Amino acid sequence: MRPLALDISRLLWRALRPAPGGIDRLELGMARLLLAEEPNTRFVFTDGGVIRPLKPMTARRLIEGAAARWEGHAQDAGCRRVAAYLAGDDAAFPPARTRRTDRHLPLVDGARTLAAELLYRRGGLQPPLAEGLRGAAYLNLSHRNLDDPRLFAALGGCTHRLCYLPDDIPLRSPHFAAPGGAERLTRILRNLAEHPARVVTCSNAARADLQDSAARLGLRLPRIEVVPPPVAALFGESRDRQDGARRFFLMPGLFTGRKNISLIARACRLITDGARFDMLLVGAPGLDAAAVFAGLGDMPSGMRFLRAEGLSDRAMRQLTQAAIAVLAPSLEEGFDYPLHEALACGTPVIASDIPVHREFAAHHAELLAVEDAAAWASALMDFAAPGNGRRAAALEAARRFITPPAASLLRNLVELAREP
């Protein structure tokens, strides 16, 4: 059987972050599966045209350390803060305002990256492979370094390559991307058009968008397969509700314009019936976080926008199961992990009516227009009213959602990587 080589460059770079992003979850999930089921797997770090295997013990320490950190435990700091909040501690989570670190994200990220490199790279990498990955199947699930033609040159005799692209948002909506994102994705698509590879994405909607973007660039990509990323099993372990005295809606995800947090702020300002609830934003700041938070002032009496960061999966599950509903008003998504995690918990979801939400959640979430603040205000009032039938129907719809087993999705990727 063809051996595997998983590129965990992103995981090494981000392993010390307190909570994962969606791409981190996919790369970590695959790494854990291969540790358990594919003992001959090489875990590699790529930098330009250099491919270096991690020492087996370094790879295991990196993977297991990230898994433990991101899953968390019942007494971790995030779980304690969640428990305090649900018990009525109004100081458990601060108001959703700009912090000084929000304005210096590159410095914060750089410090974490340097710490991870010192912990795992120094003495943890083997010499570059003389023959690259000849005879192996190479998996790159984070699209890291795929914009660099030197990587494809270094792969040389490795004829089995699987590359996972989450979406084409940097090209279709460059104002939502990091600086240089559109140019980087263009280089990735050009490299994939020129070099044989199995291309996979996370949804039919993302596949259609990637194909359209490639066509606009005059590129002919290989057939794009669809394998949704796995949701952590922890979110589906129990669907027991934790309804309590604390009334709040939950909005997980980056604090960035693409998540359409401003729509929820406008909707809240339209509510004049004295409704009382919190709007809890949980995630990490995007590059435009300061602008996002600047638009959250002047809320009606009884409503608070709060922010929380660095929560483990256990803390997130606890919050998700206690929320009135999870809100997913995004303007653009390739998959939307928080929506899937909420439905896996059996929690009601109100989401934007965009293609990927229709694809996965049309019968399990209430979908509303992305700019109709009045419709969202009506939904918030109805869901917040105790005993309301609209929320009861959404709860029943969420409980019918079936999450595909994580291992089967990851094994599908392995099979695709090994196919001729």
384: in domain: yes
69: in domain: no
Q: Which pLDDT tens digit goes with each residue over 278-309?
A: 999 999 999 899 999 999 988 999 999 999 99
The dihedrals phi and psi of 267, each to the nearest 5 degrees, come to -60, -40
Query: Given the structure tokens 């291992």, which residue do they identify?
Result: 407
Same structural domain for residues 92 and 147?
no
Amino acid at 6: L
- Closest by Cα among 364, 297, 290, 301 to 328: 364
Give the sign of the dihedral formed by CA 192, CA 193, CA 198, CA 204: positive
- Residue 224 and residue 176 share a domain: yes
DSSP summary character for residue 167 = -
Which of 101-110, 120-129, 179-188, 280-289 comes out lowest in average pLDDT?
101-110
> Does residue 350 lie in a domain region?
yes
DSSP string across 78-146: HHHHHHHHHTT-TTSS-BS---GGGGGHHHHHHHHHHHHIIIIITTTBPPPPTTTTTTSEEEESS-TTT
Residue bearing tokens 């949704």 = 228
Q: Nearest to residue 136, comparing CAs of 51, 26, 35, 62? A: 51
Residues 131, 218, single domain; the answer is yes
Instruction: Provide the whole-model pTM.
Output: 0.94
Residue 231 — very low, low, confident or very high, per pLDDT cuts 50/70/90?
A: very high
In order of 216, 231, 266, 339, the CA distances from 366 in angstroms are 33, 20, 19, 11
If asked whether residues 138 and 280 sit together in one domain, one would say no
Tell me the residue range of the domain where 379 lies. 77-103+232-399
Q: What is the CATH number of the domain that holds 48?
A: 3.40.50
Work out the pLDDT band at 115, boundaries 50, 70, 90.
Answer: low
Per the domain annotation, does 226 fall within a domain? Answer: yes
- Tell me, yes or no, whether 218 and 81 share the same domain: no
Residues 241 and 379 reside in one and the same domain: yes
Using the structure block, give the residue that is written with the tokens 């199961």. 321
Beta-carbon count within 10 A of 402 CB: 9
- Of 171, 167, 168, 166, residue with least CA distance to 182: 171
**Domain shared by 240 and 175, yes or no:** no
CATH of the domain at 250: 3.40.50.2000
Kindly report the average pLDDT of the chain as a whole number: 93
Same domain for 207 and 237, yes or no, is no
The reported pLDDT for the residue numbered 128 is 83
Q: Are residues 181 and 224 in the same domain?
A: yes
In a domain, 120, yes or no: no
Residue 358 pLDDT level (bands cut at 50, 70, 90)? very high
**114: number of Cβ within 10 Å:** 11
Q: Number of structural domains, the chain?
A: 2
Instruction: Please report whether residue 154 resides in a domain.
Output: yes
Secondary structure in 3-state letters for 170-219: HHHCHHHCCCCHHHHHHHHHHHHHHCCCEEEECCHHHHHHHHHHHHHCCC
Distance CA 384, CA 123 (A): 54
Q: What percent of the chain clears pLDDT 90, i.e. is strictly above it?
A: 81
Same domain, 201 and 323: no
Asked whether residue 131 falls in the same domain as residue 249, the answer is: no
Closest CA to 27 of 51, 4, 10: 10
pLDDT, position 217:
98
Residue 239's pLDDT is 74
**Three-class SS of residue 369?**
coil
**257 within domain boundaries:** yes
Q: What's residue 13's pLDDT?
A: 84
320 lies in the same domain as 351 = yes
Q: Is 170 left (phi over 0), alpha (psi -120 to 50) or beta?
A: alpha
What does the pLDDT read at residue 356?
A: 98
- Tell me which residue of 22, 342, 294, 284 sits closest to 169, measured CA to CA: 22
> Rounded to whole angstroms, how far apart are CA atoms 333 and 317?
22
CA neighbor of 167 nearest in space, from 327, 332, 287: 332
User: Is 119 part of any domain?
Assistant: no
